Structure 1
């Protein structure tokens, strides 16, 4: 397994520079490092976003969701004057799918494809992301968002930040699923 550093992770997610709480921004990078070290992936850039969208890197999906969530939040605040906790939003976006490092394994049958890991088969998606945010002392608002970000969750987001993350993530996912010619989130949630 190739090693990954906090500095490399910060480079994958440049939006972390906007987080005012620098301790939590650094902790988000530490979480990615720890989750990668516990995963079966040889290279973090090979980790996949979804079994239904082969060849879509998890890191790229996460960075895209984070960038889109920030754009939506800034537009919403500008147009409507709503207060949005950007630290909570950015940290939640960067960490929402960190659990996939452990939930998925490389599928040896096909290059760029993945399969559910043993953990991915028994844990609800988002559970490990919530575990890590608790372990590293993140505010409950971040934990709530990473657990509720997915349509698979029995808990739905109830904040502006949660809505923004949920829809930014679903949109990014469905774009990849359209490209892959597979079932959309819109069809299953």
Structure 2
């Protein structure tokens, strides 16, 4: 499924360079975030992290761009959630959730010639679960693990935390953007 690895300095730099939001984390948390992405990427069929698509249904949109859009949208929603809902969102919880919500996607898609298709793992495990397993193994807080595990729109149930709500709206906002720019039907119209 995956093998936890620190990866090479070049692999870590490639991941670090495209991820937004690491600046809001403690260095040790940022390091674990990078390790999670390096592990997923190097355990996948993708030669370059930038080649991983957002999804098989939207193969022309890079996962890296989607993840950064989710992180930026989520960061914009945090002060609204805190003010409107009367909650305090810990950056050491909400930022890893935003940055890592799709960490298993490199493992769930592959290429069949020019076409992006589900990997054999994707036919056995739902999106979010493999990422949550990895994050648990890397020692992330249980709130991060649970939210990543249950965030997919087709998950059988969803976490009901404020963090999960922020992720949901940020993720769908960014997903609709990815679908719209490719001329596909956005989630809000399904």
Instruction: Give the structure 1 partner of residue 69 of structure 2.
Output: 64
Within 5 Å, give how 1:109-188 maps onto structure 2: 109-110=114-115, 114-188=116-190
Instruction: Give the structure 2 partner of residue 40 of structure 1.
Output: 45
TM-score w.r.t. the length of structure 1 is 0.88
1:107/1:186 CA distance change after superposition, 3 Å: farther
Query: 1-side partners of 2:157 and 2:10: how far apart?
Result: 33
TM-score w.r.t. the length of structure 2 is 0.87
Query: 1-side partners of 2:42 and 2:139: how far apart?
Result: 20
Question: Which consecutive unaligned segments of at least 5 residues does structure 1 have?
Answer: none
The answer to whether the Cα contact below 8 Å between 2:93 and 2:144 also exists between their aligned partners in 1 is yes
Question: Which consecutive unaligned segments of at least 5 residues does structure 2 have?
Answer: 1-7
Instruction: Give the structure 2 partner of residue 88 of structure 1.
Output: 93
CA RMSD of aligned residues (A): 2.0
Instruction: Give the structure 1 partner of residue 103 of structure 2.
Output: 98
More strand by share: 2
1:49/1:4 CA distance change after superposition, 3 Å: farther
The answer to whether the Cα contact below 8 Å between 2:66 and 2:178 also exists between their aligned partners in 1 is no
Query: 1-side partners of 2:47 and 2:149: how far apart?
Result: 26
1:121/1:183 CA distance change after superposition, 3 Å: farther
Task: Report the count of equivalent residues.
Answer: 183
Stretch of structure 1 that moved more, 88-97 or 5-14 = 5-14
